[in-house]
Amino acid sequence: MHLMSGVKLRFRLVVQRWREPPFNLFEPDGYRRCMVATNRDELSASEVVWLHIKRGRVENYIKELNPGFGTEQMTSGDFRANALWFALGGLASNLVQLG
pLDDT at residue number 7: 78
pLDDT band at residue 34 using 50, 70 and 90 as cut-offs: confident
Residue range 25-39: mean pLDDT, rounded = 77
SS (H, E, C) the chain: CEECCCCCCEEEEEEEEEECCCCCCCCCCCEEEEEEEECCCCCCHHHHHHHHHHHHHHHHHHHHHCCCCCCCCCCCCCHHHHHHHHHHHHHHHHHHHHC
Which pTM does this prediction carry? 0.47
pLDDT at residue number 80: 93
pLDDT at residue number 95: 86
pLDDT at 26 over 70: no
